[in-house]
Homo-oligomer: A and B are copies of this chain.
Amino acid sequence: MKEKATSFDIAHLAGVSQSTVSRALNNSPLVNEETRRRVQEIARELNYKVDKNASNLRKQKSSTIALLLFEDPTSDDSMINPFFLAMLGSITRACAQANYDLLVSFQNLEDDWHAEYEDSNKADGIILLGYGDYTDYQNKVAQLESQGTHFVRWGAPDEAHPGVSIGCDNYQGGQNITEHLLSLGKASFAFIGDNGQQAPEFMARYQGYIDTLKKHGLEKNSVQRNAISTEEAGYNGILSLMSTGELPQVIVCASDLIAMGVLRALRENRIQVPDDVAVVGYDNISISAYTTPTLTSVQQNTKLAGELLVNTLLKAINNEHVEDYLMPAEVIVRQSCGSKLSK
């Protein structure tokens, strides 16, 4: 491997000082146009690239963001939640656009992960993304907060969780999908998904759902089964429901992954969707457009979410004022709910 060129080599070749090389390469307005051109020309020839470690050390910033992805410890290795992967993609793109690098790290909540990335100057800030046990999560977040680490988290704004939150309005999403189902004349419901402190997203979706039913005096016509966000949990949830001997008109799933399991169980039992029972999901993961029947779902705009997370974090890093943001959720009507408008 060849020796790497330094700014001194360029300076020598260009017949200017190393300071001028640095200025020219950083497009400082202080440098003469002709000098700049010559320096940049030589840099290109030598395939010179600024040493990021030196530059970062000097500037005391890294132009890097760390993404900490918390996995649900119960999910197996290969089945990362597709929603988070979509987010990963959009965060990567947003970072690239802002000229930041992205350090990605999958974390188990048990790990001692707190601010290490920022503390060691490897990253200027941190994005937290993941479901998981929020009791544990919360302590860590509080710790980040107290250390003055720059971070944003994906999730609903919540006094109990310090720091800035960017999230999607799960409560409103739960309302919207339920209103849609009511507009189709549905009158009995099951909700499959966890409904507890450890899963605040699911809980908010459930609250939106049940409050809407209450508004219409239908809350008595609802049952609920717990399920984490996996195909298997959905499969088991609907089986548990079927073992009671009767099914409601609609199965509202707290996530599309859950709905996948529900659809499979129903197919295996020759129960027609949407004719015998309607099914709706949440997240609008890409596969939902391709199931049979295609799955009605609630979309969280991952592209916008990634941009908001990155841009908000960058503002925080620059010590600008930042605020929580709650994105609206959008019902995507497909076949599984039995809507006449479905495509």
Contact surface of A with B, Cβ cutoff 8 Å: 1-2, 4, 47, 49-54, 56-57, 62, 64, 76-80, 82, 85-86, 88-90, 92-93, 96, 101-106, 116, 119-122, 147-148, 231, 260-261, 264, 267-268, 285-287, 290, 292, 302-303
Contact = CB atoms under 8 A, between A and B. Distances in A.
A110 B287 CA distance: 28
A261 B290 contact: yes
A77 B102 CA distance: 18
A295 to B, nearest CB: 12
A120 B4 CA distance: 9
A52 B261 contact: no
Contacts of A2: 147-148
B89 A147 contact: no
A101 B85 contact: no
B104 A92 contact: yes
A105 B96 contact: yes
Nearest to A118: B49
A80 to B, nearest CB: 6
Contacts of A93: 77, 106
B53 A121 contact: yes
B121 A51 contact: yes
B47 A147 contact: yes
A119 to B, nearest CB: 4
A201 to B, nearest CB: 19
Given A57-B54, A104-B92, A290-B231, A49 B80 contact: no
Contact of A103 (B76, B101, B261): B101
Contacts of A120: 49-52
A117 to B, nearest CB: 9
A286 B285 CA distance: 14
B102 A103 contact: yes
User: Which residue, A54, A96, A104, A303, has most C-beta atoms of chain B within 10 A?
Assistant: A104
Nearest to A62: B53
